[in-house]
Structure 1
Amino acid sequence: MNLTIDIGNTCTKLVVFDNDYPVHETICDGELLPAINAIVEKYPISLCAWCSVRNNESETEELFHHFPFRSRQLRGDTEVPLPVAYQNRKTLGADRLAAVLGATALQPNENLLIIDAGTCITYDFVSAHHGYLGGNISPGLDMRLKALAHFTAKLPKVEAHGELPEIGKNTETAIRCGVIHGIAHEIEGYVDEMRLQHTDLKVFFTGGNGFDFTGRWAQQPINEPLLVARGLNRLLSLTSR
């Protein structure tokens, strides 16, 4: 069995795969070692792939000395089975590349827009004929809410979950609606623009902080919460060949 570890800005996601099938998922916001220990006590892990958006590569690599399985880190400049047009791959987020690998495994040879709504919202485009062409990065939900409070004198820090009318009736709902509806319209704008260029575009959506930013779409995206994990697992399948 394979273990994938996606170390994000706010939490770490660990997923166990039996071939291509996810059989266990853990979300960890504390120490990683106990979380891995709990998994290896239950599952016969033989390979592990991991990626991180934090500056903790040496510390994480040290953890795997405690375990008998082989591990492989996915970096932005790791060799992958599709062309990558990013200008400086050392600065490419490994989680973005993992999501691209996951999406192209599920929908090969297609024009894809991959939207990952986490701490940041990323929009990545894969051409059916030219591979991964790059993408855009936008502030995520919590970042926007915190920024409004931090960079103004009187606006409060508003929680994401709460009353959500179409139009805010007080400062709290005005902020929440402005941010959440604004994200929804931003996503719709990217999708509409890309579909003008590629009518056969397929859209993947992952993340979202528990919010459905795509509920009003006439053509629903492919919702895949384990997209990054699937990409890491694909890396292991390529490695073991």
Structure 2
Amino acid sequence: MNLIIDQGNSVTKMALFRAGQLQNVDFYPKWGPDEVTRFLDTHAVDAAIFSTVTNPDPEALKLLQQRVRCFVRFDHTSQIPVRIGYHTPHTLGLDRIAAVVGASMECPGRPVLIVDAGTCVTYDLLTADGTFVGGNIAPGIRLRLLAMHEHTGKLPLVDDSGEIPEIGFSTETAMRAGATLGVAYEIEGYMARLNEIYPDLFVFLTGGDALKLAAKIKSRIFVNENLVLTGLNRILQENAEI
């Protein structure tokens, strides 16, 4: 059994894969040695990979190294099954690389746009020959709401959960709709433009806000909330003898 740990800015995911198939995913707003101990005490794990976009708990990592026979810490020196065309590959977010690897497994031989909607929204392009050429980064829904509150004198801090009308009918709905639909329309713009260049383009939408945004996007898009986890499992196989 493979254990995949993906530590994001707001939540850590611990997932189990068996024979390449995702079995289950657990979510942890707080993640550290206690969570690792409880998980390993109740699951038989043969190999594990850890990826983070923030600062990990050193004690949690030490536990993983001690208790898992084959442990891989994913970083920019790890072997991956795609080529990197980015001019500064060492600055690429590991979650972005993992999502591209996951997309390459799902759509081999096709150009793919991977939209990962979380704290930030990333747009990453994989060409048909398996090259990750790069992508763009923009503020996510909650960041947009927070920025409007923090950089104005009177706009409130609005939660991203709630009614999202096409046109807001109150300050709260205007801000929520502006942030959410702004991201949705931005995604549609990228899809339309890149489809002119890559007519066979396949588009994945992943990340914590994937389902919320998919409901507002009229263009054809495929939601896969576990694309990063799938990519990390493939990277684990690439870097460890299991």
Report the TM-score when normalising by structure 2. 0.93
Residue of structure 2 in register with 1:80 after alignment = 80
Aligned-pair CA distance for 1:112: 0.3
Alignment of 1:1-241 (within 5 A): 1-56=1-56, 58=58, 60-129=60-129, 131-209=131-209, 211-215=211-215, 217=217, 219-240=219-240
Distance 1:216 1:170, change over 3 A: closer
TM-aligned CA deviation for residue 217 of structure 1: 4.6
Contact 1:5 1:12 (8 Å CA) reproduced: yes
Runs of 4+ in 1 over 6 A off after TM superposition: none
**Within 2, Cα distance between the matches of 1:57 and 1:73?**
13
Q: Kindly, what percent of the aligned residue pairs are identical?
A: 35
Distance 1:125 1:11 in 2: 25
Structure 1 spans left out of the alignment, 5+ residues: none
Whole-Å separation in 1 of the counterparts to 2:182 and 2:47: 41
- Tell me how far 1:235 sits from its aligned partner: 1.0
Deviates more, 1:140-149 or 1:62-71: 62-71
Q: C-alpha distance in 1, partners of 2:107/2:149?
A: 41
Q: 1:180 to 1:215 in 2, by over 3 A?
A: same
Matched AA of 1:123: Y
Alpha-carbon distance in structure 2 between the residues aligned to 1:95 and 1:190:
20
- 8 Å Cα contact 1:77/1:92 also seen in 2: no
Unaligned runs of 5+ in 2: none
Deviates more, 1:150-159 or 1:26-35: 26-35
Residue 12 to residue 173, structure 1, CA distance change in 2 (3 Å): same
CA distance in 1 between partners of 2:30 and 2:130 (Å): 40
CA offsets 1:95-147 (integer angstroms, 9 cap, x no match): 00010111111111210000100111000000012510000011111111101
- Deviation for aligned residue 1:39: 2.6
Query: 3-state SS of the aligned residue for 1:103?
Result: helix
Distance 1:127 1:107 in 2: 11
Q: How far apart are residue 219 of structure 1 and its match?
A: 4.8
AA of the residue aligned to 1:203: V
Residues of 2 paired with 1:149 and 1:216: CA distance? 24
TM-score with structure 1 length normalisation?
0.93
> What CA distance in whole angstroms lies between the structure 2 residues aligned with 1:57 and 1:188?
38
Could you tell me how far apart the structure 1 residues matched to 2:23 and 2:36 are?
Answer: 15
Letter in 1 for 2:206: T
Does the 8 A contact of 1:76 with 1:93 survive in 2?
A: no
8 Å CA contact retained: 2:184, 2:217: no
Aligned residues: 241
CA contact (8 A) 1:119 1:139 kept: yes
C-alpha RMSD over aligned residues: 1.8
Contact residue 113 and residue 203 of structure 2 kept, 8 A = yes
